[in-house]
Amino acid sequence: MPWLYQPGVPRTRDVAALAPLVLAHAEAGDAVAQRIVGDACAELTLAARTVMRRLTLTAPRIAFAGGLLSVPNPLSTALCAALGLDALPQPRHTPVVGAGLLALAARAP
């Protein structure tokens, strides 16, 4: 814990680098890793449902992004199940193209 919370030393990248290891151990049946993945899935599900509720979205299109959610693994699979998705969502565009489309839409009168 002192390593993680050392004042003035950001550990975001260090912690993120452990994610593939945790996913591999969860897939291999490690109970602690499975709990970490389950907790992460619960938090992501809560975030998604909160956004849907607050924006009164009944059947929104859901997209997964990032290295952990864009490929099948214990987290992305669990999140699909929790959100009632039949399969891992596939993006229509790359993030760069999507950003460009959003910028164009924001410019339109």
Banded model confidence at residue 37, pLDDT cuts 50, 70, 90 = very high
CB 41 within 8 A of CB 27: no
Residue ranges of domains in the chain: 12-107
Instruction: Write down the pLDDT at residue 78.
Output: 97
Q: State yes or no: pLDDT of 2 exceeds 80.
A: yes
Q: What is the pLDDT of residues 49-102, one digit of tens each?
A: 999 999 999 888 898 888 889 899 999 999 999 999 999 998 888 889 988 998
Under a CB-based contact definition with an 8 Å cutoff, are residues 73 and 23 in contact? yes
pLDDT of residue 67: 84
Please state the length of the chain. Answer: 109
Q: Residue holding tokens 């214990």? A: 74
Q: What is the pLDDT of residues 17-26, one digit of tens each?
A: 999 999 999 9
Q: Are 41 and 79 in contact (CB under 8 A)?
A: yes
User: What is the C-alpha to C-alpha distance for residues 34 and 31, in angstroms, rounded to an integer?
Assistant: 5
Look at residue 50 in the predicted model and tell me its pLDDT.
Answer: 96
